[in-house]
Amino acid sequence: MKKIRKKLKYLKIKILLKLVEKEIKDVLDTINEKNTNKLISLIESKKNIFLTGQGRSGLVAEAFGMRLMQLGFNVYIAGEATTPSITKSDLLIAISGSGKTKITEDIVNEAKNKNTKIVLITANKNSPIAKKSALTIEINARTKTNNKKSIEPLGSLFEQSAFIYLDSVIILLMKKTKKKEKYLRKKHANLE
């Protein structure tokens, strides 16, 4: 791996893309199918879905939330001005590579106080947030706080893998709800 890093500055983009693609594939190959089915069941059974994450994990949460909304789910991003109160009838999905991001943990604690079901998407299944979650989806990738190997900087491998994983969950939800892309397109933003 050290030799690859030293040579990276001399690599061509196509070679680099292949290396990144292999890293993402290796991470996604470790995803737990049963936990994914549990996640889908929770999404389908809850009144509202709240999402949270900070930094790039927050961007992944927003992208997932957009697709869930386009599928017809009631979706809110924690911290937005138009986000209502969370209740025990709802679901909070938190994305945190480390599983211990302070703001995310504070939001999880508040949801826990309301008896809300919590799902964590993380690289750290033994984290403080994981211990408070009903379900933990492990994305076994490098983050900015662990020592796992990656040619990518900081948490990029976790964030990219989480994005691809959650987009794949959307495809599964589309199949399960029998909603076609045409349905999503009708709910796509038109004030842009």
> Hey, which residues are catalytic here?
159
- H-state helical runs in 71-127: 102-113
User: For residues 87 and 114, what is the distance between their CA atoms, to the nearest angstrom?
Assistant: 6
Give the chain's end-to-end CA distance (angstroms, integer). 44
* Element (DSSP H or E) covering residue 170: helix 156-177
Asked whether the beta carbons of 50 and 83 are under 8 A apart, the reply is yes
Rounded Cα gap, residues 152 and 135, in angstroms: 28
Where are the extended beta strands (E) located within 58-97? 75-77, 91-95
